[in-house]
Structure 1
Amino acid sequence: MADEYDIGPDPSLLLVDDDEIFLNRLARAMEKRGFQVTRALSVAEARAAVQVRAPAFAVVDLRLEDGNGLDVVDALREARENTRIVVLTGYGAIATAVAAIKMGATDYLAKPADADDVMHALLSRGETLPPPPEAPMSADRVRWEHIQRVYEQCDRNVSETARRLHMHRRTLQRILAKRSPR
């Protein structure tokens, strides 16, 4: 897999995400693609890693337990101006995308993004867009994933999840009772 991409002479990659399972899965996938991965679960860990060695590449979650991923983007830009940074978030909004790009991020991806999406975003050069994914998630699946994420963040409280999603509680219960779409 690493043969089809040109990572360059410095394969150092910093991954910052507070979802440890996602972080480990993405780290393994990026290591298979030829990167030397450093993992961080928080803004504090990421800043410490940047002080030890500023990476050539970084993937930073926007919302972290102890702060904002844009603080990590700022620290990366101060430590190494040419770091290629992809901001990754489950809460895609135009305002945050613009803020991330203005602060120096190379690209902005909404979760769920797979390792190939991240790889294309990290290595794309110029104004060309990466090719569309071979098998993108259906809109129903993306919606279901978002509902599940909010449900888990609300400690599996249906009423609170429904309130945050601006949905009727019984509608949400019906959605949660169904299997995930493909």
Structure 2
Amino acid sequence: MAEPSYAAGETIEIHYLRPPDRVTVFRQRVVDDNETVVVTYLPSAELRKPVMAGGRVVLEPGAPVVWFSYRGETWHDVGRFHLADGTFTGIYANVLTPVRMRGARWDTTDLFLDVWMGADGRVELLDRDEFDAAVAKGVVSAADAERAFTEAERLIQGARQGAWPPAHVAEWTLERVREVAGAAG
């Protein structure tokens, strides 16, 4: 079945499973859709606490995020992270199962590993301890664990070689997204 297309301004719901059983629903506005990626906007992240990377706050409660969800069998999504005042902090990749886009409802499962590339260009693997614990408890299958680790390593190597993140991530700045989102009503 072909995945649907989306118009700027549409609202989608991402049902995000964090194994074993925690589901969070994110409501985001579509900014752009093409054959490979749907760009969405979350104007204000609802977080219990700030997200940290490299000992620094990279996303705080109330901060905007630009998300890139890929069609097909892509095992990660990408977020452009900011502080609440809109200051860009870097690029965050969630390693997850391919996003299943079914109309306004999307589903995916978090595989615990994340890759961070700060605005300064430094790249690091995040949450390896959580990943190892999830694998040890059996909440992530051996096959998914292998796929997740391979995907994280591929992203890190790509970043070190200047091939990741893809160019479209840099093109969708917060300013551009806000302009398009405002025009879409």
Into which bin does the TM-score normalised by the smaller protein fall?
under 0.3
Higher relative contact order (CA 8 A, sep 6+): 2
Q: Which is richer in strand?
A: 2
Structure number with bigger Rg: 1
TM-score, structure 2 as length reference: 0.26
TM-score, structure 1 as length reference: 0.26
Q: Which is richer in helix?
A: 1
